[in-house]
Structure 1
Amino acid sequence: MGSFSLQHDLCFILWYTFLVLLCALVCAKIEEHKRRGGSRMDRLIKEMKAVAERYHAQRLCLFGSRARGDFRPDSDYDFALWGVPAACQPQLLNAVDDLPSLHKIDVVFVDEHTSQALLDNVKKDGVILMDKFTIKRENFESALLRLKEGLAGYEGASDPQLARDGIIQRFEFTCELAWKTTREWLLDQGHVDLNSPKAVMRQAFADGLISDSDGWIGLLNDRNMTSHIYDENTADQIFRRIQTCYLSLFEGLLEKLI
């Protein structure tokens, strides 16, 4: 009886050990498959980002099953792109067709005609792979901080004229980043053909990002003048407007660009 019990226990241990080893082998195979699949997925996404950059996309988003994580090995890739000029879209699609993959790749160009249902789906599950707006907003915020620092230190400057000219230069840089950041934001909303500061700020006014149209027109005009200022009186006037008006316009815009 004791011998039978020992044999039974031994068989159970061997069988249990076999099951553990089998499970470990299966898990290892699954992990290896995931690593290989993930590696292929990473390569394709990297190549897609390069294509998006090449054809001037402002934002690239992966959505669908591959973004949610419930994809199969043969699942499609779904990409949404913002800001790709219409003239570049056929070239981008050709470049996507040339990618070294047999997976089906679906591309959506987001513009003002894109359905809200699709946009909601992209926003719900999407993974942002490239976003020029975020980078530009950070740069705009940094430039605005430098402008504030310059204005704060003006009264104590040992050479007021040099300090004034430095602040005007910071104003120029901040203005450049302000309209370019605004352009990225508007492109993300589906607007297209925004290729000049005035066109961008006109659309920003229409979309409620800015409200002082006269102030912004004056700001843009003064920015154009600063590139060829030789008159001290004009420089002083622009400097005072930076202090009294333009700084607050920049601050208000930055708060809206979220």
Structure 2
Amino acid sequence: MVSKAKSTKGSSQAIDYVMNDKENGEALILDSNGIVGTTGKDILQEFRFVQESNRNCVNNTISMVISPNQEIGKDLSNKELREILHSQLENLGLKDRQYIATVHASTETKHIHVLVNRINEKGQAISDSFLSKRAQESAEKIARSKGWKTAKDIQNERKLEAKEIRLKVENTIKKDKPQDIKSYFESLHKSGLKIDIIRSKVNNTISGYRIEGFKASDISRNLTLNKVEKSIKTIINSLSKDRGYSR
């Protein structure tokens, strides 16, 4: 699970964005606290009424996104999403603050948007030091408590997968010794690797490529299109020295 958070000045436009779910129209309001309004303008006024008690705090609103892993998030009920929201707010000391949270489901990954008032009714501003780091640490804590993969777990799995792909590409190049970019792609395809060629929208020339969903440069710096096109022989000699994800 991933979570990002930052402090902002807040605006009605930002609230309207949270309240809208692109193709799906109005976003589902998951939960709120101390909020009555239903439009960005009305909600902002409610935030500002409390924020008047502390005019020294400029970035007086916290904007946060909570994204459960795609394979898990798609099946989560609103009740389960609400539990995640409450745990996140509790961990960050924000549960008793004024906030509104919505669910966006029009992208591949269902996620929660939250806007929280940094200022409480006593005019106190909660610290935003290392806010994004704390939000991610909290998200990982919640994921572990539920037996889910954390962002670090997924990142490590991706590194291992990329390393396996790099080794397969290396072995394929050594075996087939392609002499141009066309034969290079053909060799990778024959080895069972899925290749997605990216073409320029201007002149339809090849501008890059992906291997099994990975950008070539994320697998190895020596697999960028420019380096492959420059010299296949250089790639053959240098791939064995490239540490890439094996570090």
- TM-score when scaled to structure 2? 0.30
Between structure 1 and structure 2, the one with the greater Rg is 1
Q: TM-score, normalised by structure 1?
A: 0.29
